[in-house]
Amino acid sequence: MLSLVALPPEPKSPPLVQTLRWAFRPLQFMDACRRELGESFSVRFLGFERPMVLISDPEAIKALYREPSHGLPPGRNIILEPILGSKSLLIQEGAEHLSRRRLMLPPFHGERMRSYEEAMTEIVGTEIDSWPLHSEFPIHARMQAVTLEVILRLVFGVSSGPRLDRLRETLATVLTETATPGRQVLGLALQRFGGPGPFAHFDKQLREVDDLLFAEIAEHRERPDLAEREDMLSMLMLAEFEDGSRMEDQELRDQLMTLLLAGHETTATALAWTFDLLLRHPAALGRLRDSLDAGDEDYLRATISESLRLRPVIPLAGRRLSKELVADGIALPAGTDVTPAIWLTHTRPDVYPEPYAFKPERFLEDGPDTYSWIPFGGSVRRCIGATFAEFEMRVVLREVLTRCELHKANPLPETTGRRNITLSPKHGTPVVVTSREPAREPVAV
């Protein structure tokens, strides 16, 4: 039925070309489609049976996200299930998804954030102390180290020892090796013809990660102080579904992998982009530093909102329609795969005057709007870690900017590349630190 319905127009090139343009030059591809085809358009990705309709009108996005019965388009499962596992919150749908989401929400509540602050500050402090002075290094890689450590300590509850070292090493290999668009496109193409899929070459490393995670879960189960522990794994182990049951080991493993994959690279990339933008906008950087010195975090919050607007890390957060949706005057039938094109939404001149300019001030008076600022997606599937990520970004930016004199090492602005599921700075945002203050002593209360 679906094939008889007129979807929004699509580029003339074959799916392979569309996929390659999407993989290697995503922003240029979306921009060209918007120019040539209009606000809503369809694209065909290699390996997917149906086209994906991209929308950017906030009203259409509202209509899409407000309907909780829509499902997920197949992309998430095809790409992510082999690594995350079938119980992952990112993959589950309907009642199964909602019951897990309810169970997993408490550790992400705003009021819990203060309890994570000390560990985050310590992690970024140790990282800053290791940075060389007067020589160039890519700050993206350093942010990956910080966000990985944050997840291992605060989510997994692994604090030190050989298991942490091994986990760190093996995860870094898997995440780096699967990162490039070339590998991902090849994996998807091979999978389409019965091949093993994008993560198959890392089977051995993934099994090793699993063994380490199961060992951690087993050790947690033996702990007499589980109820007092602050890490998310301890909380998830004790949390109960509505019928009184708890997550089994396999599911705990799937959710840990999910939180790691969804929360590590994304936050690191958002931080790298924020440094890149700040270092190229000295007035904004100066104002931010002054406000931090005065103990005011409003401009910091606005800077993070503006950075996530101009450099959204995840490009798409789509749904498969469970019922008709009218977008841009076109009735899209149930079964259509539809996604907001996050960057196109964030660069609409009718919503954001001077859309390509970096202006944190635009978020100082009013915070971001729910359906035209969507770096974390929306509604029942909105990023569960959004508050955690923004809090972590505030801690990291505050510590780095108050302790370090930081300069850009490349005169040219960063271009957008891809790493895993993110749109990331292609050159890793090289920086130079010219001076560094010692870490402050914790304030006794």
Residues that bind ligand HEM (CB under 6 A): 89-90, 101, 155, 258-259, 262-263, 266-267, 270, 313-314, 317, 375-378, 381-385, 388-389
Minimal distance, residue 98 CB to ligand HEM, in Å: 9
176 neighbors 141 (Cβ within 8 angstroms): no
Residue 51 vs 375, nearer CB to ligand HEM? 375
Least distance in angstroms from the C-beta of 135 to ligand HEM: 28
* Strand-pair category, 319-320 with 404-408: unpaired
Q: CA 250 to CA 297: how far, in whole Å? A: 41
Please state the closest distance from residue 89 (CB atom) to ligand HEM, in A: 5
Backbone angles phi, psi at 365, to 5 degrees: -75, -55
Identify which of residues 42 and 307 has a Cβ nearer to ligand HEM in the complex: 307
CA of 3: how far to CAs of 43, 118, 335, in Å?
14, 55, 11
Between CA 390 and CA 393 the distance in angstroms is: 5
What six digits make up the tokens of 17? 């070309």
Return the number of the residue (316 or 432) whose C-beta is nearest ligand HEM.
Answer: 316
Q: Which two tokens stand for residue 20?
A: 């390659």
**Cα angle at 69 between 65 and 72, to 5 degrees?**
75
Residue type for position 140: H
Give min distance, CB of 72 to ligand HEM, in A.
Answer: 8
Shortest Å, Cβ 280 to ligand HEM = 20
- Select 90 or 188, whichever has its Cβ closest to ligand HEM: 90
What is the separation of C-alpha 370 from the centre of its chain, rounded to a whole number of angstroms?
17
Min dist. Cβ of residue 382 to ligand HEM (A): 5
Is 82 or 378 the residue whose CB approaches ligand HEM more closely? 378
Q: Which is nearer to ligand HEM, 259 or 278 (CB)?
A: 259
**CB-based contact 234:64 (threshold 8 Å):** no
Question: Nearer Cβ to ligand HEM, position 382 or 436?
Answer: 382
Nearer to ligand HEM, 22 or 376 (CB): 376
Nearest to 280 by CA among 412, 428, 401, 395: 412
Helix axis angle for 298-310 and 386-403, nearest 10°, is 110
Least gap, CB of 181 to ligand HEM (angstroms) = 18
Q: From the CB of 285, what's the least distance to ligand HEM, in Å?
A: 20
* Helices of type H across 280-297: 282-293
Kindly provide the b/e burial profile for residues 114-128, where b requires at least 16 CB atoms within 10 angstroms of the residue's own CB: eebeebbbebbeebb
Place of tokens 């600022």: 373
Distances (CA, A) of 19 to 30, 183, 184, 189: 12, 13, 11, 10
Question: Contact at 8 Å (CB) between 157 and 116?
Answer: no
Q: Residue 372: what residue type?
A: S
Nearer to ligand HEM (CB atom), residue 33 or residue 270: 270
**Shortest Å distance, C-beta 305 to ligand HEM:** 11
Q: Which is nearer to ligand HEM, 344 or 389 (CB)?
A: 389
- Minimal distance in Å, beta carbon 15 to ligand HEM? 23
Q: Report d(CA 424, CA 435) in Å as an integer.
A: 27
